[in-house]
Amino acid sequence: MGPVAALAAWSMVMWVWMYATRIPAMQKQKIDAKGLVGTTGRTLDDALPAEVQWKAHNYNHLMEQPTVFYAVALALAIGGQGDGLNTQLAWAYVALRVVHSLVQATINRVMLRFAIFAVASLALVALCINAFMAFVIV
Amino acid sequence: MIDYSLLAPGAVLALWTLVMLLWLAGTRFPAMAKSGMDVKTAQPGGRGQDLEQVLPASVNWKSHNYTHLLEQPTLFYAVIIFLTLAGGVTQTTLGLAWAYTGLRVVHSVYQATINQVMVRFSIFVLSTICLLALNVMAVIATLG
């Protein structure tokens, strides 16, 4: 449960970072949100500097694969499998996702970001296999 | 003693999602190499969706499905965990949950290969009906 809470909290940090950079950038571009109808955050990809949108890209990313992590971690925890190796794998996943966020929000070199994502995904694969063994094979 | 059997279809679908991630990677990288792209010299900040007009559609279909698996199934995970914690594990919920997982695997294979929209839509609707039924049962079980 610890890593679940930590990654959820980190997502909210990225949410704050996203708005703390997006709102000043919108003001600078003289975009008045009061006059906007039906646009989405993605619309800003063409309007704001890329580094500003990188924070949003990462926030969206945190709403993707980590949802599988939450499901698997909760299943393992309530299924009595939330100990030892599974806890270490979960913390490794969370730590790698935090590093991934920092890279994507700042330097955002694609190969580096990809490498971190790939290693994080391997930790999640291991957790998924453990959940599969615990609940499907039994 | 909690019955954990309803977590099994969730564990399978989570693992399947990562199989789709491997399928995505296994087709995207060769396609990128073929199109002469070099990630090392790419502009910082590039994302998977930038490949949309660049790579063949059938390569991107794997990615569309991987993304899709991180959308609605997240509700499914929440619902089966609710049902497990609230004592809602029955033959009916088990059947519906396995049907959901089975249909989503079929949906993935279909979207990644043939991808006729009406067929894909029909599979998606069937799986959504399973999820809707599970969700209603989860509301009943948790309101108790």
Q: Give how far Cα A78 sits from Cα of A71, A97, B5, B78, B121, Å.
A: 11, 23, 12, 13, 34
Give the tokens for residue A117.
Answer: 């994502």
pLDDT of residue B23: 98
Write out chain A residues lying below 8 Å of B20, CB-based: none
Contact check, Cβ <8 Å, A135/B47: no
The pLDDT of residue A34 is 86
Class level of CATH domain A2-137: mainly alpha
Is residue B49 scored above 90 in pLDDT? no
Q: Could you give the percent of chain B with pLDDT greater than 70?
A: 100
> Rounded distance, CA B93 to CA A112, Å?
43
Mean pLDDT lowest for which of A37-41, A70-74, A118-122, A127-131? A37-41
Percent with pLDDT over 90 in chain B: 85
Q: Which of B5, B18, B24, B50 to mutate against chain A (most A CBs within 10 Å)? A: B18
Distance CA B48, CA B45 (A): 10
Of A68, A108, A134, the CB nearest to B14: A68
Q: Are A96 and A119 in contact (CB under 8 A)?
A: yes
* Minimum mean pLDDT range among A119-123, A129-133, B16-20, B50-54: B50-54
Residue B82 main-chain phi, psi, to 5 deg: -55, -50
Residue A7 · residue A69 · CB < 8 Å = yes
Confidence of residue B73 (pLDDT cuts 50, 70, 90): very high
Calculate the CA dihedral of residues A55, A56, A62, A67 and round it to 10 degrees.
170
Q: What is the pLDDT of residue A28?
A: 93
Q: Is A99 on the interface with B (CB under 8 A)?
A: no
Structural contact between residues B128 and B72, judged by C-beta atoms closer than 8 angstroms: yes
DSSP symbol at A134 = I
Q: Which residues contact residue A43 at a Cβ distance below 8 angstroms, ignoring those fewer than 6 apart? A: none
Cα–Cα distance, B3 to B89 (Å, whole number):
7
pLDDT at B37: 86
Q: What is the model's pLDDT at position B70?
A: 96
pLDDT at position B53 is 87
CA distance to partner chain B, nearest, from residue A85 (Å): 17
What does the pLDDT average to over B4-25? 97
**pLDDT surpassing 90 at residue A71:** yes
The yes-or-no verdict on residue A138 having pLDDT over 80 is: no
Q: What's the rounded Cα separation, in Å, for the pair A85 and A15?
A: 30
CA angle B26, A129, A93 (to 5 degrees): 80
Rg of chain A on CA atoms, in Å:
18
The structural domains of chain B, with segments of one domain joined by +, span 7-143
pLDDT band at B43 (very low <50, low <70, confident <90, very high): confident
- Inter-chain Cβ pairs, chain A and chain B, closer than 8 A: 92
pLDDT at A35: 85
* A66 pLDDT higher than 90: yes
Query: ipTM for the complex?
Result: 0.82
pLDDT digits (tens, 9 = 90+) for B75-112: 999 999 999 999 999 999 999 999 999 999 999 999 99
pLDDT at B1 over 80: no
Region A7-34 average pLDDT: 93
CATH number listed for the domain at residues B7-143: 1.20.120
**Residue A119: exposure state from Cβ atoms within 10 A (0-12, 13-18, ≥19):** middle
The end-to-end CA distance of chain A, in Å, is 22
